[in-house]
Amino acid sequence: MNTELNLKTLIVKKPLKLDCGKTINDFPIAYETYGTLNEEKDNAILVFHALTGDQFVAGLNPITNKDGWWSYAVGPDKAIDTNKYFVICSNVIGGCLGSFGPSHKDPNTQKVFGTNFPVITINDMVNAQNNLLDHFGIEKLFSIVGGSMGGMQVLQFISNFPDKAKTVIPIACTSSHSAQNIAFNELGRQAIAADSNWNEGDYNSKDTIPNKGLAVARMAAHITYLSKKGLQEKFGRKLQEREDLKFGFDADFQIESYLRYQGSVFVDRFDANSYLYITRAMDYFDLAKQFNGNLSDAFKETKAKFFIISFTSDWLYPTQENKDIVIALNAIGADVGFVEIESDKGHDSFLLDVPDFLSALKNFLDKSYTDN
């Protein structure tokens, strides 16, 4: 879906053994950078994107022609100041914006992978992205930052590579997907599977796209990113371009119209199979389980400085789940700060213009950088 675009891509030669047991090699990682890497190579920040994000953190996204997904936080003079820092972000493997994913062709069969693509995990994603450090000759990142699934990658990255980041900022995330998280992801996957166009994942050969299923998946997920209060304030029971109820099943309410719109624009930029793979990776994420149930052990090798941020109205990855990470870090005397930001904007708060969040992020980064 993006082969005509000129994406910056690193071809990773080194074989990568995936958690599922398969090994991949010569695979692409599509990335984008912002700012300039200094001579000491100590100003690099690796940003990890969330479920439906991509490498276009800031500036203009060439696919959507809209602002990058974290434009509020990343750019010149912003919280993650690209005048000062060198920001790297890459599309996760399993994704659909240039990195190795289910819409790529299997070199052995010359057919699109579809659901023959190996199941990947958060661990696989960060192991793949670690190759970017070698590519840029960066020994130690100044920071690793990410919200939601990006935060999970942050946690996994510092656990896998304890010496490779000075500061660590997981935002609005969890160390293990809850039953509710898995339930919502399963709803999305089943919506896709229920679309006859999905064709068990083999829709490329039929030249169809499971648009409807993917749109419903997005609609359901989108609700989980917002808070009840936020929705009520923005939409309430307001009607969509009509004076009264129509006694039918058109979008009478603005919220219906809004969700339908969110679903329809999503299918233009996202691959249904990637949605299956990435949600699966999130569901499989359980960092404590990798350490025999002791989350603290995931971090015991690192001297990095952690700063954990949650949001009051985030019910998808609530404050308590973020605090559990703080508790695990305190149990081993790690350097950890934590703040819960007041916001009505739900889980999406980290992507939006929430001044208390952005100033905390900026202050933490800038103070940690000058303390070097």
Partner 1 sequence: MKNEFQVIANLIEKDKKVLDVGCADGTLMKFLKDNKNINIRGLEISKDKVQKCIAKGLTVIEGNAEKDLIQFPDKSFDYVVLSQTLQAFLNPELVINELLRVGKKAIVTIPNFGYWKIRLHLLTKGTMPITKTLPDEWYNTPNLHMCTIKDFVHFVKSRNFKIFKSIALSNENVSSINDTNLGLKNLFADLGIFLIEK
Q: Which stretch binds partner 1 (CB under 8 A): 56-64, 73-81, 140-148, 322-330?
A: 322-330
Instruction: Determine if 370 is a binding residue for partner 1 (CB under 8 A).
Output: yes
Which of 326, 351, 354, 358 is close enough to bind partner 1 by CB under 8 A? 326
Which of 84, 212, 280, 305 is close enough to bind partner 1 by CB under 8 A? 305
| CB distance 317 to 347 below 8 Å | yes
Which of 140, 234, 337, 352 is close enough to bind partner 1 by CB under 8 A? 337
Instruction: Determine if 142 is a binding residue for partner 1 (CB under 8 A).
Output: no
Distance CA 366, CA 304 (A): 16
Instruction: Determine if 333 is a binding residue for partner 1 (CB under 8 A).
Output: yes
C-beta of 117 vs 357, nearer to partner 1: 357
Instruction: Determine if 239 is a binding residue for partner 1 (CB under 8 A).
Output: no
Q: Which residues are catalytic?
A: 148, 314, 347
Distance CA 105, CA 160 (A): 29
Which of 341, 346, 353, 354 is close enough to bind partner 1 by CB under 8 A? 341
Instruction: Determine if 84 is a binding residue for partner 1 (CB under 8 A).
Output: no
Q: How many residues can be counted in the chain?
A: 372
Least Cβ distance, residue 72 to partner 1 (angstroms): 18
* Residue of 291, 51, 307 lying closest to 165 (CA atoms): 307
Q: Are strands 335-341 and 305-311 parallel, antiparallel or unpaired?
A: parallel
Instruction: Determine if 235 is a binding residue for partner 1 (CB under 8 A).
Output: no
Phi-psi region of 55 (alpha: psi -120 to 50; beta: other; left: phi over 0): alpha
Q: Which stretch binds partner 1 (CB under 8 A): 87-95, 162-170, 207-215, 336-344?
A: 336-344
Task: Locate 242 and state its tokens.
Answer: 């009509």
* Residue matched to tokens 């609005």: 172
Instruction: Determine if 297 is a binding residue for partner 1 (CB under 8 A).
Output: no
C-beta of 92 vs 165, nearer to partner 1: 165
Which of 96, 336, 351, 358 is close enough to bind partner 1 by CB under 8 A? 336
Instruction: Determine if 77 is a binding residue for partner 1 (CB under 8 A).
Output: no
* Residue matched to tokens 């999503």: 266
Which of 245, 248, 249, 367 is close enough to bind partner 1 by CB under 8 A? 367
Task: Tell me how many residues contact partner 1 (CB under 8 A).
Answer: 24
Instruction: Determine if 63 is a binding residue for partner 1 (CB under 8 A).
Output: no
Instruction: Determine if 193 is a binding residue for partner 1 (CB under 8 A).
Output: no
Q: Which stretch binds partner 1 (CB under 8 A): 45-53, 198-206, 259-267, 362-370?
A: 362-370
Which residues have a Cβ under 8 Å from the Cβ of 3 and sit 6 or more positions away?
none
Instruction: Determine if 363 is a binding residue for partner 1 (CB under 8 A).
Output: yes
C-beta of 23 vs 363, nearer to partner 1: 363
Max intra-chain CA distance, the chain: 66
C-beta of 187 vs 339, nearer to partner 1: 339
C-beta of 152 vs 325, nearer to partner 1: 325
- Residues that bind partner 1 in the complex, under the rule CB under 8 A: 305, 307, 326-327, 330-331, 333, 335-342, 356, 359-360, 363-364, 367-368, 370-371
